[in-house]
């Protein structure tokens, strides 16, 4: 699965410009699905027919990533920018970003800011793309960029930009690859614009009208120095969501994931996330309500250019998803 993960995390795809990553994912799943389509907002839907008597199940992972958007170019060719999703100035100074046309820029910080001892605000940052004037600047207002980071592997730890949530996409793709039979009508949905408002999940789920929905996304951890207390650590299994700042997981969906993990001897953790939410929040309130839950991959340094997961958690997430889908829900 490493090469699949490498291709996913290294592909360009900020919120609202998911064309390239959608094409990569489509190439991976179209021969495995019974039907495949792109919905009006841009989410990719791969349907796998099940047997009789099963439920209509949505499995969702968002394919967009955080990034920046050019908001102004000055007369010397330096660009100002705004965030796409949860981008924080602390994590960006001196980093590199890449645009869809291949242009690479360096994030700089104003030298004469009011208080150089404090973390700069986003307004005090700029982008240097090597231009010398507004006229020769290769990027323009409205252009989007993502962080530049290849996949690095340290033992079982995988480090890259866009683990949030390309690692969830990898789990769904690998689940579809290994799935032999299921009683359920499955919709593997690779959603757009999660980072800016969970938009793709809401519209996709509305169109499908599922009986059950499960998101696969990353979550935080409590195993680094002086971290906030949290009962999630890398390498101890995928985390079954109980609650986050946007939703309480449906008890029946949570319980079936926990029980399948216990029955199969798959390590798992329980997740209560104080800050952040997932596509499950949007899906659970579609139409008259959808029983929804989330399977989370523990991830360090979320919303930075160097997000870290443990591949054992990724593998066990695939195993657990297969166990959940093989039986009644």
- pLDDT, tens digit only, all 329 positions of the chain: 999 999 999 999 999 999 999 999 999 999 999 999 999 999 999 999 987 788 999 999 999 999 999 999 999 999 999 999 999 999 899 999 999 999 999 999 998 888 888 999 999 999 999 999 999 999 999 999 999 999 999 999 999 999 999 999 999 999 999 999 899 999 999 999 999 999 999 999 999 999 999 999 999 999 999 998 999 999 999 999 999 999 999 999 999 999 999 999 999 999 999 999 999 999 999 999 999 999 999 999 999 999 999 999 999 999 999 999 998 88
End position of a domain, from candidates 91, 125, 147: 147
What pLDDT, on the 0 to 100 scale, is given for residue 53?
81
pLDDT in tens, 114-151: 888 899 999 999 999 999 999 999 999 999 999 999 99
Backbone angles phi, psi at 246, to 5 degrees: -115, -15
Confidence (pLDDT) at 318: 98
b/e per residue, 148-183, with b = 16+ CB within 10 A? bbebeeeeeebbbbbbbbbbbbbbbbbbbeebeebb
Question: Same structural domain for residues 72 and 25?
Answer: no
Do 116 and 260 reside in the same domain of the chain?
no
Judge if 107 and 167 occupy the same domain.
Answer: no
Q: Is residue 206 part of a domain?
A: yes
Q: What is the CATH number of the domain that holds 176?
A: 3.40.630.10
On whether both 12 and 120 belong to a single domain, the answer is no
> Is 237 among the domain residues?
yes
Task: Give the DSSP H/E element, type plus range, for residue 218.
Answer: strand 212-219
Specify whether 180 is located in the same domain as 290: yes
Q: Using CB atoms within 10 Å of the CB of residue 89, give its burial: 0 to 12 exposed, 13 to 18 middle, 19+ buried.
A: middle
Question: Distance between terminal CA atoms of the chain?
Answer: 27
Q: Is residue 154 part of a domain?
A: no
- The CATH number given to whatever domain includes residue 75 is 2.40.30.40
Task: From the candidates 194, 195, 307, 311, give the one annotated as an active-site residue.
Answer: 194
262, 308: one domain: yes
pTM confidence score:
0.96
Instruction: Point out the domain boundary residue: 123, 147, 171.
Output: 147
User: What pLDDT, on the 0 to 100 scale, is given for residue 50?
Assistant: 87
pLDDT of residue 51: 79
Known active-site residue 10: no
Shared domain for 132 and 174, answered yes or no, is: no
Within a domain: residue 155? no
Among the candidates 100, 119, 147, a domain finishes at: 147
Task: Please count the structural domains in the chain.
Answer: 2
- Count other Cβ atoms within 10 Å, centred on residue 307: 26
For residues 86 and 45, membership in a common domain is answered with no
Q: What is the pLDDT of residue 305?
A: 94
Q: What is the pLDDT of residues 165-214, one digit of tens each?
A: 999 999 999 999 999 989 999 999 999 999 999 999 999 999 999 999 99
Claim to verify: residue 299 and residue 205 sit in the same structural domain: yes
What is the spatial distance between Cα 225 and Cα 261, in angstroms, rounded to a whole number? 29
Coil, helix or strand for 168? helix
Do 120 and 212 belong together in one domain? Answer: no
Tell me the residue range of the domain where 119 lies: 68-147
Task: Indicate if 289 and 182 belong to the same structural domain.
Answer: yes
């Amino acid at each position: 699965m490493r090469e699949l993960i490498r291709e996913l995390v290294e592909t360009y795809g900020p919120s609202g410009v998911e064309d390239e990553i959608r094409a990569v994912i489509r190439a991976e799943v179209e021969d495995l699905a019974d039907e495949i389509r792109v919905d009006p907002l841009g989410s990719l839907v791969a349907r796998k027919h099940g047997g009789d008597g099963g439920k209509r199940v949505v499995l969702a992972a968002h394919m967009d990533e955080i990034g920046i958007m050019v908001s102004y170019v000055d007369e010397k060719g330096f660009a100002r920018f705004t965030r796409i999703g949860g981008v924080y100035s602390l994590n960006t100074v001196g980093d590199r970003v890449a645009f869809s046309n291949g242009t690479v820029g360096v994030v700089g910080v104003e030298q004469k800011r009011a208080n150089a001892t404090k973390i700069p605000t986003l307004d005090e940052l700029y982008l240097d793309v090597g231009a010398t004037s507004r006229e020769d600047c290769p990027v323009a207002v409205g252009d989007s960029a993502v962080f530049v980071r290849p996949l690095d592997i340290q033992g079982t730890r995988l480090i890259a930009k866009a683990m949030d949530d390309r690692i969830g996409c990898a789990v769904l793709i690998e689940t579809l690859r290994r799935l032999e039979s299921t009683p359920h009508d499955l919709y593997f949905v690779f959603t757009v614009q999660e980072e800016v408002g969970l938009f793709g999940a809401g519209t996709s789920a509305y169109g499908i009208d599922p009986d059950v929905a499960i998101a696969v996304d990353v979550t935080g951890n409590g195993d680094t120095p002086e971290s906030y207390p949290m009962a999630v650590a890398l390498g101890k299994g995928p985390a079954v969501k109980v609650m986050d700042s946007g939703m309480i997981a449906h008890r029946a969906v949570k319980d079936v994931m926990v029980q399948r993990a216990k029955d199969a001897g798959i390590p798992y953790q329980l997740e209560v996330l104080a800050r952040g939410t997932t596509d499950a929040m949007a899906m659970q309130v579609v139409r008259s309500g959808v029983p929804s839950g989330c399977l989370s991959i523990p991830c360090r340094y979320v919303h930075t250019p160097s997000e870290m997961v443990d591949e054992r958690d990724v593998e066990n997430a695939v195993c657990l998803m297969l166990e959940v889908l093989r039986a009644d829900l």
